[in-house]
Amino acid sequence: MEKGKPLSTGTVAEETGLGARDLTVSYGGAPVVREVSLDLPVGGLTVVIGPNGCGKSTLIKALARVLKPDSGRVLLHGRDIWSYRGRQAARHVALLPQNPIAPDGITVHGLVRRGRYPHHTLLRQWSPEDDDAINAALERTGLAELAHAQAGELSGGQRQRAWIAMVLAQQTGLLLLDEPTTFLDIAHQYDLLELCKELHHEGRTIVAVLHDLNQAARFASHLVVMDQGRVVKEGAPSEVLTAELVHDVFGLPCDIVPDPRTATPMVVPHARTAPGARRGG
């Protein structure tokens, strides 16, 4: 992914405040997210971590207005997010879900173009600003030369970057990324996370679910740790990521040492001597 280019010549949505109050979410059975209250730092790069099944993705879907809570509220600019119309909310909040599926026969350009739909109304149809946003998103994700390729024929990593380009083209003040490094090789994972850091420094509010604790600690300005549907700790990575927390939440004995490149916390696991010792799946 190319670095250092502005996202587009258009205007990014205004500062976006997003948070939750006593949020409980289920899929019709036992709650998956339980009484979560959370304020996402405006302009921050928040990373949500936690063991499998702890409610990370469910929380992101609720924050993005994809899942309606059983109780509690998601607040966007101080208003219940469900008081906005869908297209109106999508001008403020963009979501990259896990494992999105592209329509058959769509090109990369056509997929990225979909990010512009929330900005269109009966009075505002396609404009040069839309083209600028799409082209900038393609450039920034390294897909300009593949704009007319079929999305279904891309490699897994290229397809993931096409979805990322779509949410960038949406030009929202807030990006919610659910496991955005899925399908990316290690070099492209770090390219993507560097891009997230750039967007954060440009003033975007970004929330990402990650599994790699060291990547989370290196790139996050704010870390949220979940376990069993609840937020157990949040704050700066240097304050949150401790050997005790990693052991308690992930069942992993470890040492925490400074990353030799960034001085951020780095998890060094102890030797594993017993198969199946890890808690959870």
- φ, ψ of residue 210 to 5 degrees: the values are -130, 155
Q: Percent of the chain at pLDDT above 90?
A: 69
User: Of 152, 196, 146, nearest to 174 (Cα)?
Assistant: 196
Mean pLDDT in the chain?
88
Q: How far apart are CA 122 and CA 6, in angstroms?
A: 29
Dihedral-angle region of residue 153 (phi above 0 means left; psi in -120 to 50 means alpha; beta otherwise):
alpha
Domain boundaries, the chain: 18-100+173-269
User: What are the helix (H) ranges across 121-252?
Assistant: 128-140, 156-169, 186-201, 213-219, 237-240, 243-250
Evaluate whether 203 touches 12 at the Cβ level (below 8 Å): yes
Q: What angle do CA 231, 170, 160 make, to 5 degrees?
A: 70
Is pLDDT of 91 > 60? yes
Of 57-66, 187-196, 232-241, the poorest mean pLDDT is in 187-196
Q: So what's the pLDDT on residue 119?
A: 81
pLDDT at 14 over 70: no
Residue that is written with structure tokens 């879907």 in the block: 61
Rounded average pLDDT over 14-41: 89
Which segments of 55-100 are extended strands (E)?
71-76, 79-80, 93-96
Radius of gyration of the chain (CA): 19
Which residues lie closer than 8 Å to 247 by C-beta, 6 or more apart?
253, 254
What sign does the dihedral 94-96-102-106 (CA atoms) show?
positive
DSSP code of residue 138: H
User: Quick one: pLDDT at residue 117?
Assistant: 87
Residues 177 and 209 sit within 8 Å (Cβ to Cβ): yes
Within 8 A by CB and 6+ apart from 92, the residues are 13, 16, 76, 77, 84, 172, 173, 174
Assess whether pLDDT exceeds 70 at residue 28: yes
**pLDDT for residue 100:** 86
The model's pLDDT over 223-278, given as tens digits with 9 standing for 90+, comes to: 999 999 999 999 999 999 999 999 999 999 999 999 999 999 999 999 876 555 55
φ and ψ at residue 264, rounded to 5 degrees: -75, 160
**Predicted local distance difference test score (pLDDT) of residue 124:** 67
**pTM for the structure as a whole:** 0.86
Sequence-distant (6+) residues with CB within 8 A of 97 are 61, 66, 178
Local confidence band at 73 (pLDDT 50, 70, 90 cut-offs): very high
Query: Mind listing the pLDDT tens digit for each residue in 102-147?
Result: 888 999 999 999 999 888 766 667 778 899 999 999 999 999 999 9
Residue 1 has pLDDT above 60, yes or no: no
Q: For the structural domain made of 18-100+173-269, what CATH number should be given? A: 3.40.50.300
Q: Which among 145, 153, 208, 214 is positioned nearest to 182, based on CA atoms?
A: 208
Alpha-carbon distances of 69 from 63, 85, 90, 175, 177, rounded to whole Å: 10, 16, 18, 20, 19
